[in-house]
Amino acid sequence: MQGASASEYLWICTEGVPGFSRIPKECSGIHITSKKAYMIMRRLLSKIAICGILILWAPLVDVVSAAKDTTEIVFLTWKPNQPEVWNKLIQQFHEKHPHITVKRQVCPHSSTEYHAIITQRLKNRDVSVDVFLMDVVWPPEFANAGWALDLSSRFPEAEQEKFLAGPISAGIYHEKIYGVPCYMAAGLFYYRKDLLEKYHFDPPATWAEMIEQGNIILSDHKNPGMVIYSAQFKQYEGLVCNMLEFLRSNGGEILDQKTGQVLLDQAPALEAISFVRDHIIGKAAPRGVVTYEEPESLSLFTQGKTIFHRNWPYAWAVANDPEKSTVSGKVGVGSLPAFEGHDHAATLGGWHFGINAFSIHQEAAWQFIQFMASKESQKTLALKAGLAPTRKSVYEDPVIQQKMPHLIAFLPSLKKAVSRPLSPIYPMISQELQRFFSAAIVHENEALPSMAHASAVRLKKLLELEAMIAK
C-alpha cells in the first residue's frame, strides 16, 4: 500500500459532493470502440470547420457594410462616474455628424489599470482604437513611443491660447502638442465652513495652523470618531500627487527637469515628508489613510468625520449632494495650506483627448475631439458631471457663473496647478516615488535621509535610461 494514483484521488475527492455526477468506476478504461469514436469525432470536426468559416466571414461582412457611407471610430475611455452625460454628448455628435459613428469602449476606472490596457493595445499597433483619453501625465510617454498623433497642425497655437496654460503645457512634448485638454483637475482643500465659522477661524493658511484649529475644534467636540484631516496616502498614483503638494508647499521638488538633478533627498523635501509622517499619519489623519484612495477619504468627509479634506474638483458635487453627504451645504473650498513662508501648491490632474497614430480614421477622430472639446461640450461636462473646464471662456459664461459659483473658487488652484514630472518614463518614476513615499510615511522609526538617498539613486538610474534616447 504505497499511496494511491492521481485518478483515484480525484475519484475519492468528489465522493458525496452534490452536483458531481460520477461515472461508474468500471468505465475508467475506454470501452467505446475506436472506430465508432472516430466517426463521432469526424462529424464533430466538420461542424467545427463550419463554425470556423462563419467566424472568419463575420469581420468581412462587417467591413463591407461599413464601407457604405459611415465611418466608425472607436473611443477608448475609462468607466465614467456619469456615463449618461458622455452618452448624451456622443448622441449630439451623431446628430451633427451623421456620417461618423462613435463606439465607446469602456476600460477600468483606475488610471493605472486603464494605462496598462491602452499601452498594450497601442504598443501592438492596434488600429481598432481611434480616439482615447490620456491622463495629464501620459503625453510625453505616448508622444515618444509614437502612439499619439502629433496634433500641432490641427491644433495651432492660436487655438491653444483659448485654453488654460497648465493643461496645454502638459500636452506638449518637444514643442509639439499631442493632447487636447478635455477637463482639468487640481488638488483642492475642502473644509467644514460651519465649524470654522463657529470658532471664528479663517481657512488655515499653513499646515501647522490647520492642525492647531483642528485640535481646538476636536477638543470641544468630544466625538471619538472625528479626525482633523483626510486625504489619499495609499501606495498608488494619488500618493504621488498628495506628497508632491506637501513637498512643493515647502519649496521642495522631486527633480529639476532642466538639469536632471534629483532633489528628493534635499532638505525641503525631507522636512515636508517628515511632517506628514510625524503629524499627519495616525495623528491629524487616521492611520487608515495609508490604505485610502479618493472614495474612502471622501466618505470620511461626507460622513462629517473630518474637518479638512484634500481632493479633486469632482468631490464638490458629491460633498454637496444631500443624498450622499451629511455635510451638504456646509462645505467650503480653497487652496491647500502651505508651510510657513512658502506658497500654496496644487498638483495638476485631468485628462486629454489623443488620437491613435495608427488610426485609419484620423480626420473623423479629429472632428469628434473638436466637438468634445468645444465650449458647449465643456459646459455640459461641467454642469452635468461637475468636471472643471479647460477653456477659459467657459469660466466667463453667465450660466456657469450663476449655476456653478464654486468653479470660480477653484480657479486660483486650477491656474496654479503644476504637473508631475514630465517624462516618457513617468510610469517608472511614479512606481519608484510611490514605493519611497509609502515607506517614508509608514515606517516611523526608519532613517528618512538614508531612505531618500537610496530612492534618489534609483531615480537617477531611471533618468539615465531616459537620457539614452537623447543620444
Partner 1 sequence: MTHKDRFFFLLLLPAAALLMLFIVIPVGQSFFLSFHRVISGLPQLGEAMVGLENYRNLLHDDVARHSLWITVIFVGVTTFFELLIGLFLALLMHRRFPGRGALRAAVLIPWAIPTVVAAQMWRFLMNDAYGMINYLAFGTKIDCYIPWLAYPATALGAIILADIWKTASFAALLILAGLQVIPREIHQAGLVDGAGTWRRFRHITWPLIRPAVMVALLFRTIDAFRVFDLAYVLTQGGPADATNVLQLYGYKKMFVEGWMGYGSAISVCIFMLALFLAIIYVRAVGRHLLEARV
Applying CB under 8 A, the residues found at the interface with partner 1 are 1-13, 15-18, 34, 37-38, 41, 112, 115-116, 119-120, 123, 141, 144-146, 224-225, 234-236, 286-291, 296, 299-300, 424-425, 427-428, 431, 434-435, 438-439, 442-443, 454, 465-466, 468-469
What one-character DSSP code corresponds to residue 29? Answer: S
Distance CA 181, CA 19 (A): 55
Cβ proximity to partner 1: between 9 and 57 the closer is: 9
What's the grid cell of residue 168? Answer: 496645454
How many Cα atoms sit within 13 Å of 65 on the Cβ side? 6
Spatial distance between the Cα atoms of 97 and 91, rounded to a whole number of angstroms: 10
Q: What are φ and ψ of residue 127, in 5° steps?
A: -85, -5
* Beta pairing partners, 418: 347
Residue closer to partner 1 by CB (options 142, 312) is 142
Tell me the three cell numbers of residue 199.
470658532
Q: Which of 33/65 has CB closer to partner 1? A: 33
Whichever of 38 and 396 has its CB closer to partner 1, that residue is 38
In the complex with partner 1, the residue whose CB is nearer, 17 or 61, is: 17
Tell me the C-alpha distance between 426 and 140, whole Å.
Answer: 8
Taking Cα atoms as reference points, which of 107, 81, 111 lies closest to residue 420?
111
In whole angstroms, how far apart are CA 467 and each of 105, 110, 217?
Answer: 35, 30, 51
Closest distance to partner 1 from the beta carbon of 81 (Å): 20
- Quote the least distance from Cβ 12 to partner 1, whole Å: 4
388 touches 410 (CB < 8 A)? yes
Minimum distance of partner 1 from residue 338's CB (angstroms): 26
Alpha helices in 276-403 (DSSP H): 294-302, 315-319, 362-372, 375-385, 392-396, 398-403
Range 37-75 burial, b when 16+ CB lie within 10 A, else e: eeeeeeeeeeeeeeeeeeeeeeeeeeeeeeeeeebebbb
CA–CA gap between residue 53 and residue 352 (Å, rounded): 41
Residue 143 is classified by DSSP as H
Q: What is the largest CA-CA distance in the chain?
A: 93
Residue 65 or 445 with smaller CB distance to partner 1: 445
